[in-house]
Structure 1
Amino acid sequence: MSSSPSQPSRLARHHAIAAAIALLALQLPPGAQAQAAPATAASTDFHIPAQPLDQALAQLARQAGLQLLAAPELVQGRRAPAVEGRLSTTAAVARLLRGSGLEGHVSQGTLVVETPAGTGSLPEVTVSAVGETTTTEGSGSYTTGLMSTSTKLPLSIRETPQSLTVVTRQKMDDQGMLSIDDVANSATGITINRWSDDRARYFSRGFVIGSFLQDGVPVSYETDTSTYDTMAMYDHVEVVRGPTGLMTGVGDPSGTINFVRKRAPRTTQRSATLRAGSWNQAVGEIDVGGSFNEDGSARGRVVASLQSRDHFIDGYGSRRQLLYGTAEFDLGRDTTLSVGGSYVNEDNPGSQWMGVPMGFDGSFLDIARSRRFSPSWSKWDKKEVSLFADLEHRFDSGWKARLAARALQAKSALDGAYLVSGGLDELGRTRYDVAGGLYDYDKRQLSLDASAQGPVRLFGREHDLAFGVSRRTIRWSDQGYSYLSPTGEWLIANGVDPYTWNPDSLDRSGLMAEDLWTRRQKTTLTSAYATGRFLLAEPLNLIAGARLDWYDFTNAQRQGSWSREREFSEKAHATPYAALTYDINKTYSAYASYTSIFRPQDFLDVSGSMLAPVEGRNFELGLKGNYLDDRVNLAVAVFNTTQDNLPQAITDINSCTVKTNCYRSVGKVRSKGLDVDISGEVLPRLNAGFGYTFTQAQIASDSTEGVKGAPYASYTPRHQLKLSAMYHLGGELGAWRVGGGLRYQSRTTSESLTSAEGYVIRQPAYAVADLVVGWRVNQQLDLQVNISNLFDRRYFETLGTNNGGNYFGMPRKVLLTARYQF
């Protein structure tokens, strides 16, 4: 093998140690060395996942038909981003090495990787540039490359004119995130609000998030049945703050959460993870993937997880199982079919429906965090089956077409009792009454989406377009009944002392059943959408789009002689979106965006009539920046959202004339505030995430249901600060890492829920700190300990009313993790 005349000494050194290079253990297939190397300018289909740099270079060489020459000391211990798509070899090498301090060139059919001429030594780099990929697994990063959750266009975080946070696989592993609650606690601006131990809502900018995405396909989030408490199957989670009607149809102004699943790898990877923690927590996970054939055109992956734990609440436990499988097939050079599914089962014995009571004046009762206010026979069990299929075709012009389908069935079985309104006894002591019931929910969804995306050239400039059609059908089939006392009363116990409540004291055998309640509901959303990024001038882009929605809703409820049927439809409702982005320089860009809000509601008022649809608009101004070869992203945004007809739950359920919860409209509500988000490798070996949010949500005009200036959703904080970090030590301690997290939020109150009842519950501001220590024993085994709520801060995560809806935050918790890769 000959070298170029300008580099004889370097190539001679490489030849001398070539036999010892670990990379050459991954040799080309027989006969490949005899093949003529393609010209570096020719395009090749590269499929290289994020992985250690030495392995990534070996894969690139195989796929390009080249030999590989690189000194082990240059590439070992470094990571490379994923490279996907049809590229020239030169472009693929540049992407793979970006941010590494190395350079590569092809000489005589050999890919040579070396330090740039005149460079004495390399800076230590542990996290690669993210590159043009949506996959975060194996990147070692706290940020990502491309994403399309906000606009359907494959944009980087900097190019996306909206506030967003990405929780990568690395961050989930570092911070010991096992559930959606863990992700929400880490994501900028997201607040958890519980309706029960196993039923939570997620708020952003003062409003509830009603729709999720799975791989970019909208699905309805059903609090009663949805199962997102096993995160082992996901590569990363994208959290968008602000309206997302362009993606989800009838849009929530709060935002959306996109769960991006793990993909089937082309190279074999296997790992086993064991976890043990506080309250008898035990978790086992197996993750196996790889190619079914030699060329990697057929590949698959299976993830299985078993979780078992008690909780800090006495008598409450969880047993959860996850099985996820996916397979991908290259149907020719440019077409890929991906199919798969998941099964989740959750058994939650002892689950509370209503949480901890308060004093009738809103004061905290002196109750231990471990105390449970549900009978020993209570439960909230869930089961979910999901199937998906994606077909993608890539055209030589750079366009992509995609067909996607998601089918989901989620069921829950709940049985329990909860505290309701009571009073003071003759001695002035707090006493509550008890009600209960048994219910079964069955919710099914089918989501279909056909889309295309690619570049177009108009007026001498290149632009990007995306368009498509979608259809989503949601069916509910629910039934159940309230318990009645042996004498036929709705209250099954009276005068309960919250200090001495005994979960075994309520005997279910003597209870009677009220008339069976049934609910049959169907929602159909048919949509057509289009969006584009248009280069108006060299630094100025217009991102504009619109969505047309056809919405049909029917609901029928029956119980005994009572019945109620409702219908609502909307034809070709338009949701416009527009944003201007301006590239200030290579680091910073600014944007301004506008979108409208429209969301039909299925909530009933006290008389049984449907609330009018929510309508409004959102304005946002922002600044984006990226640094260090895209390894760090910065985003700052101010927003102003106005909505009409937002719902507020009626706390006095006795005033409801319907058989389910009822609501009132609070008129016009305005939410305004500030988002700041920074994430990535901010210093060598230091991954960090910083998020700050200020949100002020208030009733903006007087109405019969609200007074101007009164708070809306006062149980969400105005100020939130979230920090997370992981530092990898260097030198002799290079196998060790240390990190942690910090969450701070300002005070919250129940004012928007209970002020009309004459009392307010107040949770003072608090901060919670976490600690992480990890040790990489060898290339296969990794050990880690996570300590959550390090200083054991006592606080209420959710505020409700005096008879319940109040939930303690988790006390100090320890989680030990051992992960083995083989």
Structure 2
Amino acid sequence: MFMRGGQISTLRNGIDLTPIYRGPVPEDAAIIDRVEFMKGPSLFMNNIGDPAGTFNVLTKQPTGTPHYSATAMLGSWNLYRLAADLDGVLDAKKKLQYRLNVMGMTSESFVRYDYNRRLVLAPVLKYQFSDRTSVTAEYTYQQFQYALISPIVMTPNGYASLPRDFTIHEPSLKPYQVRDHTGFLTFAHAFNKNWSLTARASLLQNDYEGMYMWVTGVNPANPNLLLRNPKYDLVRMQVYSQQVFVNGKIRMPGVTQQILAGVDMNQKQVLGDIYVTYDTYTDAAGKTQPRYYPLHIDAPEYQIQTPDYRTPGGLTHGNTDQSIRYYSLYALDELTFFREKLRLTLGGRFTAVNTHNNVSSVETSSKDQVFTPRVGLSYSIQPTWSVYALYDQTLIPQAGITSAGEAIRPLEGINREIGVKKDWLDGRWNTTLSVYHIHRSNIVATDPNNALYRLQVGKTHAKGIELDVVGEVLPGLNAVINYAYNDSKIDSDVNPQLIGARTPMYVKHVQNTWLNYHLPGSKLSSFSVSAGYQYQGGRGERYATAVQHPGPDYFRLDGGIGWHCKHLKVNVLINNILNKTLIATPWYRNGLYYWVAQAPLNARLSMHYVL
């Protein structure tokens, strides 16, 4: 996900579980309790991440109150989904609590030959020693099977010039398999009403294996003839994280301090045989060449047979072995003055990072030690009106190697931001207006010439304005409205032609609106209607280029209707109501336009039953 000129960080339950190379595997909705988007002042409580912000996925936990529900969903392209959520206790004193979520799904796609199978199992056990102390053990297993790991298409004829269902895939290829194992062990203790301690250990293991087609060029005599070659991936990504922190409050005459201090330890590794060109032949000169399977974009013919493949010796004989180890000490102190009208936040983090890379038998390593300070100031002009300003330095450890054999350095960022927040109509809705200026150095992107390598942009800047409106703007009408203007460019780079170019995945204007209206009157109060849209204008490419090939503007209109009673909720959601041709991730390379087609008009019906 990109925001404010950069790719924002992902956390699960407040922990950095983002693997090297790819992912993490997205959390299924069945296990998600809520998602926190953090930017500006709220980002101060976050750990390592991009200066633009982060989003934190909080998984479902035992509540201590028995609750049982089931959800069924069906939709376009033979979508069928069943999920169950069991929340209860295992003893009379309610000390041993559990939560179990299970989900199964099968779906086809608007893309030819594509399909998706999913299975999720997520048990959680919590033991409440007392009202102050608890231990929670959590495990999540997710299994995915895709025909296409990514439905990217390409043509020399411009963006969105192919039918939506076009694919470069071959149904004879084995499906792409993904398995995700994630675990948490959390100890929480409250010393008193002001001070608490939390210790958490977590692990993640993602296993990928599969085959897919990739286009490396076109036939010079006929540009509409794509030259496809099958690729193979065998990847294991692991993350181990340990976190201990204390949170407390100190009250003194005239000032209150809210203190957060802790230590983070994180170890990441990726082993794999990635982007393997296994289907080859030896030409007359004795050189190994990829074997191509031509595909005409105007009259595609499929059902060819390709050889099967698996890396001899498995993961230990792959082309990639990379690791990151980092250790952080951090402290944050929010001081409040004048009956909590004035708030001063001071913080800092010291991080030591070690990386090691072995890609195609080329080895590099790096060591970095960085201190990143944070300063914030906010003032409540009135009980419903406040202003803030902040200065925030951040760091993201990164692994990788360039095609020149150089190690990738950590991403460093600086965010300067001011803003105004206002509550309206007794807090029923609120607005936030912010202005930011962000500097980044050492941004990483995949090398478009070889997926095993990385590109490292020198320095970039992003500046912009954001406006958010959230709440009940009229009786029964709830709204989420936001607008963002962003201007982000490359300031320095090893390639001087890129200086002044737009940053990867640049979007100048973003405007989203979602409205939900509960019908008035006793007979209609069980019904609700929803509608909203997403707009993106001034879209850039996936990679920075000296000559721009911007993507088309994006506008999608969605809507739905809902009904509920005591035990049952029924919702119908219609996406892309206007049936517009939409694309994502556009870029241009070697005479080809690349993109991912978005779904046409489609619908889903969901039924949620609570016992």
Do they fold alike, i.e. is TM over 0.5?
yes
Task: Using the TM superposition, give the Cα deviation of residue 637 of structure 1 relative to its aligned residue in structure 2, in angstroms.
Answer: 0.9
Superposition map of 1:550-569 within 5 A: 550-558=352-360, 563-569=361-367
- The structure whose residues are more often helix, as a share, is 1
Match for 2:578 among 775, 791, 797?
A: 791
Give the equivalent residue in structure 1 for 2:257: 463
Contact kept? 1:271, 1:819, Cα under 8 Å: yes
Contact kept? 1:353, 1:417, Cα under 8 Å: no
Contact kept? 2:43, 2:54, Cα under 8 Å: no
Task: Using the TM superposition, give the Cα deviation of residue 604 of structure 1 relative to its aligned residue in structure 2, in angstroms.
Answer: 2.7
Question: 2:443, 2:213 → 1: CA distance?
Answer: 29
Tell me: CA distance 1:258–1:600, structure 2 relative to 1, closer, same or farther (3 Å): closer
Question: 2:114, 2:203 → 1: CA distance?
Answer: 31
Give the equivalent residue in structure 2 for 1:813: 602
TM-score, with structure 2 as normaliser = 0.91
Local SS of the residue matching 2:155: coil
Kindly provide the CA deviation profile for residues 730-774 of structure 1, in whole angstroms up to 9, marking residues without a partner as x: 212111111122101103243954545xxx534322311111101
Kindly provide the CA deviation profile for residues 303-346 of structure 1, in whole angstroms up to 9, marking residues without a partner as x: 11111101110110000011111122221231122222111000
Local SS of the residue matching 2:167: coil
Kindly provide the CA deviation profile for residues 271-314 of structure 1, in whole angstroms up to 9, marking residues without a partner as x: 11100000000010111112223343322111111111011101
Contact kept? 1:555, 1:565, Cα under 8 Å: yes
Task: Using the TM superposition, give the Cα deviation of residue 354 of structure 1 relative to its aligned residue in structure 2, in angstroms.
Answer: 6.3
Task: Using the TM superposition, give the Cα deviation of residue 704 of structure 1 relative to its aligned residue in structure 2, in angstroms.
Answer: 4.0
Give the equivalent residue in structure 1 for 2:301: 502
Question: 1:801, 1:819 → 2: CA distance?
Answer: 44
Question: 2:497, 2:48 → 1: CA distance?
Answer: 25
Tell me: CA distance 1:736–1:243, structure 2 relative to 1, closer, same or farther (3 Å): closer
Tell me which amino acid in the other structure corresponds to 1:625: K
Contact kept? 2:160, 2:583, Cα under 8 Å: no
Match for 2:433 among 628, 636, 646?
A: 636
Match for 2:2 among 197, 200, 203?
A: 203
Tell me: CA distance 1:702–1:332, structure 2 relative to 1, closer, same or farther (3 Å): closer
Question: 1:525, 1:259 → 2: CA distance?
Answer: 22
RMSD: 2.7
Kindly provide the CA deviation profile for residues 161-220 of structure 1, in whole angstroms up to 9, marking residues without a partner as x: xxxxxxxxxxxxxxxxxxxxxxxxxxxxxxxxxxxxxxxxx11112113x4212212222
Kindly provide the CA deviation profile for residues 629-664 of structure 1, in whole angstroms up to 9, marking residues without a partner as x: 6553422211101123333544344xxxxx82342x
Tell me which amino acid in the other structure corresponds to 2:563: W
Question: 1:541, 1:411 → 2: CA distance?
Answer: 46
Tell me which amino acid in the other structure corresponds to 1:521: Q
Task: Using the TM superposition, give the Cα deviation of residue 225 of structure 1 relative to its aligned residue in structure 2, in angstroms.
Answer: 4.9
How many residues align? The count is 599
Local SS of the residue matching 1:730: coil
Contact kept? 1:636, 1:677, Cα under 8 Å: yes
1:711 aligns with 2:507: no
Question: 2:249, 2:396 → 1: CA distance?
Answer: 32
Contact kept? 1:218, 1:247, Cα under 8 Å: no
Kindly provide the CA deviation profile for residues 39-86 of structure 1, in whole angstroms up to 9, marking residues without a partner as x: xxxxxxxxxxxxxxxxxxxxxxxxxxxxxxxxxxxxxxxxxxxxxxxx
Contact kept? 1:352, 1:372, Cα under 8 Å: no
1:492 aligns with 2:492: no
The farther-off stretch of 333-342 and 362-371 is: 362-371
Give the equivalent residue in structure 2 for 1:134: none
Contact kept? 1:245, 1:575, Cα under 8 Å: no
Give the equivalent residue in structure 1 for 2:554: 766
Give the equivalent residue in structure 2 for 1:342: 140
Match for 1:624 among 407, 421, 433?
A: 421
Tell me: CA distance 1:600–1:782, structure 2 relative to 1, closer, same or farther (3 Å): closer
Kindly provide the CA deviation profile for residues 22-41 of structure 1, in whole angstroms up to 9, marking residues without a partner as x: xxxxxxxxxxxxxxxxxxxx
1:606 aligns with 2:394: no
Percentage identity across paired residues of the two chains: 23
Give the equivalent residue in structure 2 for 1:543: 345
Tell me which amino acid in the other structure corresponds to 2:358: A
Local SS of the residue matching 2:502: coil
Give the equivalent residue in structure 1 for 2:538: 747
Tell me which amino acid in the other structure corresponds to 2:571: Q
Superposition map of 1:510-521 within 5 A: 517-521=318-322
Tell me: CA distance 1:380–1:629, structure 2 relative to 1, closer, same or farther (3 Å): farther
1:367 aligns with 2:156: no
Tell me: CA distance 1:408–1:768, structure 2 relative to 1, closer, same or farther (3 Å): same
Contact kept? 2:569, 2:607, Cα under 8 Å: yes
Local SS of the residue matching 1:747: strand
Give the equivalent residue in structure 1 for 2:89: 291
Task: Using the TM superposition, give the Cα deviation of residue 511 of structure 1 relative to its aligned residue in structure 2, in angstroms.
Answer: 12
Give the equivalent residue in structure 2 for 1:450: 244
Give the equivalent residue in structure 1 for 2:210: 414
Question: 1:446, 1:495 → 2: CA distance?
Answer: 44
Tell me which amino acid in the other structure corresponds to 1:534: L
Give the equivalent residue in structure 1 for 2:227: 433
Local SS of the residue matching 1:232: helix
Question: 1:297, 1:429 → 2: CA distance?
Answer: 68
Tell me: CA distance 1:807–1:491, structure 2 relative to 1, closer, same or farther (3 Å): same
Question: 2:574, 2:177 → 1: CA distance?
Answer: 28
Local SS of the residue matching 1:645: strand
Tell me: CA distance 1:495–1:512, structure 2 relative to 1, closer, same or farther (3 Å): farther
Tell me: CA distance 1:589–1:755, structure 2 relative to 1, closer, same or farther (3 Å): same
1:660 aligns with 2:452: yes
Tell me: CA distance 1:815–1:229, structure 2 relative to 1, closer, same or farther (3 Å): farther
Give the equivalent residue in structure 2 for 1:472: 266
1:270 aligns with 2:270: no
Tell me which amino acid in the other structure corresponds to 1:794: T
> Which structure 2 residue ranges, 5 or more long, are not aligned?
none
Question: 1:799, 1:479 → 2: CA distance?
Answer: 27
Match for 1:800 among 580, 583, 587?
A: 587
Question: 1:593, 1:510 → 2: CA distance?
Answer: 54
Question: 1:302, 1:511 → 2: CA distance?
Answer: 36
Contact kept? 2:105, 2:117, Cα under 8 Å: yes
- The structure whose residues are more often strand, as a share, is 2
Question: 1:461, 1:533 → 2: CA distance?
Answer: 10
Tell me which amino acid in the other structure corresponds to 2:442: N
Task: Using the TM superposition, give the Cα deviation of residue 781 of structure 1 relative to its aligned residue in structure 2, in angstroms.
Answer: 1.6
Tell me which amino acid in the other structure corresponds to 2:162: I
Question: 2:130, 2:601 → 1: CA distance?
Answer: 53
Contact kept? 1:249, 1:549, Cα under 8 Å: no
1:212 aligns with 2:7: no
Question: 2:383, 2:528 → 1: CA distance?
Answer: 33
TM-score, with structure 1 as normaliser = 0.69
Tell me: CA distance 1:750–1:644, structure 2 relative to 1, closer, same or farther (3 Å): same
Task: Using the TM superposition, give the Cα deviation of residue 677 of structure 1 relative to its aligned residue in structure 2, in angstroms.
Answer: 1.6
Task: Using the TM superposition, give the Cα deviation of residue 601 of structure 1 relative to its aligned residue in structure 2, in angstroms.
Answer: 3.6
Tell me which amino acid in the other structure corresponds to 1:482: T
Match for 2:471 among 680, 685, 693?
A: 680
Question: 2:555, 2:429 → 1: CA distance?
Answer: 26
The farther-off stretch of 546-555 and 479-488 is: 479-488
Superposition map of 1:314-393 within 5 A: 314-349=112-147, 351=148, 353=150, 355-359=152-156, 363-364=158-159, 366-376=161-171, 377-393=173-189
Tell me: CA distance 1:630–1:469, structure 2 relative to 1, closer, same or farther (3 Å): farther
Contact kept? 1:212, 1:221, Cα under 8 Å: no
Tell me which amino acid in the other structure corresponds to 1:814: A
Match for 1:582 among 343, 360, 379?
A: 379
Tell me which amino acid in the other structure corresponds to 1:632: W
